[in-house]
Homo-oligomer: A and B are copies of this chain.
Amino acid sequence: MTVHGATWVQGAAGSQFPITNLPYGAFTVTSDERPRLGVAIGDHVLDLAAVLPDVAALAEPSLNAFMAMGRSAWAEVRARIIDLLCDTSEQATVEPHLVPIRSVQMHLPLEVADYVDFYSSEHHARNLGRILRPGQPELADNWKHLPIGYHGRAGTARVSGTPVVRPRGQRLSPSTSQPEHGPTRRLDIEAEVGWVVGVPSELGRPVPLHAFRDHVFGACLVNDWSARDLQSWEYVPLGPFLGKSFLTSVSPWIVPLAALDDAWLPPVERDTPLLAYLDDTGRRDGIDLTLEVRLNGTVVSRPPFAGMYWTAAQQLAHLTTNGASVRTGDLYASGTVSGPEPNQRGSLIELSWNGTAPIRLDDGSTRTFLEDGDEVIISATAPGPQGTTIGFGSVRGRVVAE
């Protein structure tokens, strides 16, 4: 366990990016340069290639090469960064490579290989069941036996801040019951946590629960924008497709697992026996994150991640149990994070109960689904070592008319 000293960087202590966090991202200062890799510290970004020139992977424009190096390299680089930022004798040489965070443009920090989206909040799954399939069981028979998930479109994962162009597509006309083509009328969010794979696995070799940390590099925030009317028309029998594929926004900072050491906790109690490859009895694979969803500045939800039924380790074990391999850059997301309380729901279809109960914003307006011009910001924090708070930054997007 690394002992963190105090950093000489002003303003880091007490910020969302203290010395115990050090999330990785890709940034530019001028519009014509190639993205550079950095870690966030307080209000600054440390230019990694400048201070660790011997690590060739840190001179790449995305994290993939560094993430592929594996746990010992991740630990060594993290220890060296901590030393550089805590040792006052380094300050004079390192300080010129701290760039004010307000002056940088952030980029997608990884090249996304495969993108998988899970459905692992019991509260979310039950809410959707009640809303969409009234009179039927809230959960499908399989839900408590395996983490339900599906593949999404990797090519439309974009960094936080990318405009959310209202997608067009087929939806049923309420008057004719025939499909028509036009802009979605039910544009929604899904507040999620994403996990990024660093070290690949081999085809035919499942990744057991205990090997999670050998493969996964870190965590981020994901907003899986959803067009509910497109989705409900298309999804039988092969699942969501165009209702999701137009954009998936990813936060610019990848929080390394080492920063989350103090946030792990036992997962929620399971009421259904699990098959061996998913049985995490005695493991601390749950994680204590609290998300916050703001719509036009109003906090509309604070979803607690600790209550997720399926853990990130189980999701990885499940998605490889058939022999499927993972690659550097694979991103898999938790599914919408919703808690048991109405103000802990991670999507508008839940918060407005399918549009029947509009939510009120601080400016007095109400919302069911998103209107053009609306801005959504999802952020999260976790408890860090020594009383610090580990911030995830945020994933944001503003809706623009198509």
Contacts and interface: CB of A to CB of B under 8 A. Distances in A.
B238 A113 contact: no
Contacts of A203: 156, 158, 165, 247
Interface string A151-171: 111111010000001011110
Contacts of A326: 155
Contacts of A275: 170, 179-181
A126 interface: no
A279 to B, nearest CB: 11
B156 A325 contact: yes
Interface size class of A (residues with CB under 8 A): 35 or more
Copies of this chain held together in the complex: 2
Contact residues of A: prevailing secondary structure: loop
A90 interface: no
Nearest to A163: B204
Contacts of A53: none
Given A140-B236, A275-B181, A276-B181, A321 B242 contact: yes
Contacts of A206: 168
A270 B141 CA distance: 37
A153 B233 CA distance: 23
B150 A233 contact: no
A170 B145 contact: yes
B322 A151 contact: no
A342 interface: no
Contacts of A150: 150-151, 238-241
A259 interface: no
A402 interface: yes
Given A113-B155, A243-B322, 19 more contacts: A114-B153, A140-B236, A142-B236, A148-B238, A149-B241, A151-B241, A153-B324, A155-B324, A158-B203, A168-B323, A170-B321, A180-B275, A181-B277, A204-B402, A235-B238, A238-B239, A242-B322, A246-B323, A323-B402
The 3 A-B residue pairs whose C-beta atoms are closest, nearest first, are A239-B239, A167-B322, A151-B151
